Structure 1
Amino acid sequence: MAETPPAGTDRRTPWRRELLLERAEQAPDALALFAVVSARLRRMLPFDAAIWRATDPVTGLMTAPIRVENLAEGGCTAYWGTEASPEAVIPFRELATAASPAAALGEATAGSPELSPLYEAYLRPRGLGDELRAVLRVGGRPWGAVSLFRERGRPAFTAADTAFLAGLSGPLAARLRSYARPAGEPVPLPPDGGGAGLLLFTPEGRVVSANDAAWRHLARLPRVAASGAAVGRGGGVEEVPVWIRTLAAAGEGRLRVRDLDDRWLLCHASRLDGEQGFTAVVLEPAPVSEVARLVVETYGLSARELEITRLISAGATTGSMAEHLGISRHTVRDHVKAVFAKVGVTSRGELVARLFTEHLEPAALAHTVRVTTEP
């Protein structure tokens, strides 16, 4: 259990805050940032468990990396299911645009956190009594989110705690934003060694060379739409899907596909210089931040339906969507019904929960670090 400062003691001195932000500026990546900030923040604002997440700045949905402290595996579906509930208290989607980016469950429920769906579904089963959460936002965009938890029986988070965490939102979000990877920069290799696969095609569509990562990716691709164009490898035969051959024939372009492990792959082609006219096709794991923006496309949604889905994820009401899009409320409802039918859900909460549990959670698991900290 984390230590609670004696009454009248305030560890949140200006120099401690500045030291925390100084260490944050020195962190080389988001995961390191979460680790150093969490360790120093615990000394000033004690908590027993925490979850630090990067979020997609466009949709506000969770991406990666994720740092989980002192919480066992499991429970993600319950957590995000309640987050999408109409009865949710201080949901992240509201904090993204609220006057303050931070809020505590105990304070928001006037000392009765059990009134929140989150309490029964997630906090109580884990012996937790209160949550202080914040959206890390800057420039009107959410770049991260944090949940701090205290065990049941411990003092609830105070208004001073909430104000202090809110004051860290902008600086930490700015640091997260600084890690944004420029377009075209290579995607980092995943922990399982999947890496970037390379296939080299002749102008006739024949594979003349490929690396080991390419074979691993091909082996995990669905066997639908596979053509008869096969290449040998070590006595075996690997089928090259027709959509990869089509991409190679075009000589340029990019597309995305989910493999059998529910991971998104980016596939892009580039015509090489030289008389032979070879084309290189690269298969690589998609960044989770890109997955957050793209998962809705898997359901064949129209451009308008994509926009409706994005607004639903952001917590927009029917009226605000109608005003934003310049259409009637009746038309908005028709679009929402069409989205529900295509995705196979019956409510907005179920829609957001499905986007997380079926798409974002599998993509983020390889980028989640789970640790146990000392008091």
Structure 2
Amino acid sequence: MRTPARSNSRTVASIRQLCSMALPEEIFMAKFLEVVREWLGCDTSHFIWCEGKTLQPVNYSGDGFTDISAVQRFFNHNSKVEYPGVMPAFADLMRTNASGTLGCAEEGADAYLRSGLYQDVMRPCDGRYMLYLVAHDIRGAPKGLLSLLRSSSDKPFTQADHEKLAQLEPYLRHALSVNIGVANAFESADSEGLVVLNGDGALRYQDHEARRLLWMASHDRIDGNALIHLDSHNITPQLKRLHQRLVFIFEGRNARPPFFECRNSWGKFVFKGSWLDGAHEKAVGVRVLHFIPRSLKAWKGLHRLDLAPRQQEVALLFSEGKTVAEISDQLSISRHTVAEYVKVIYERLEIDPNREALQQVLLA
């Protein structure tokens, strides 16, 4: 179901904040797609990442999307095909600064509906109307294809929608230029799943969230090959390791604690194992937790607060440890103005005038 469009100024300010937080690219993109989808009133939003040298698709991020088979078809076939009058092959498209609509009021809309791109990929997921943008980093290097879809029961994208998306492009460039080595403090569990193994380590049960998190923890990228394993019920290396540790502990042998973490482009994953009491047979329960960066948790917390967009920006930067001078330089406003904003923030939130109190409010 289509998400109603959100108001303009506050959402743009929120997106600008998100793009300036130096988040790992994949973590940033997951939240960016969610916000943009809601803002422009779309059914689904997608980002196909391209490899730097070959410009071939190498990774996928999406929001509101369930037809993974359509993504597989795109990676394995459609991305390599040129659609005359509609869209060039993916690698050729990445060499452009293209943006626009497909299936709407543009010239060639009928050609899009007849193309294999629509028939094979978009139609199965009811992507009747598309708004797209080739995204680049600040050096001009292509990063991937951003696309927003509406179903046949919705209105086509308009020029106003196109202009809205275009105004985000400078912020998106900044977000996609973050150094991969940027450190992030992962302090907030964003989602959690449960897995149950029997005494021999075979899978007895896993909830939907656990299946998703285990797959993300095992695949640093989402491409055609990784998607093949999405519905696999094989035990991941992480679960095998936990089960072995618990068996050793049960037998009184030396073993490390049944707990470990791993990190990849999707964030930090924590695995906690324990024997399940009261089970008819020996069984192991594993909690799988996915942690998001602390700064992203704080950004999400801003939306609960009664602050103007500029006050939100100052609050976020101040909570991250930035000084008044640093905030002044980053936002191009005077130090006096920053100090006044900080004072107003404390008063409106009715908290003690210190950075720790502000952090607690944002992370609550």
Quick one: higher RCO (CA 8 Å, sep 6+), 1 or 2? 1
TM-score by length of 1: 0.43
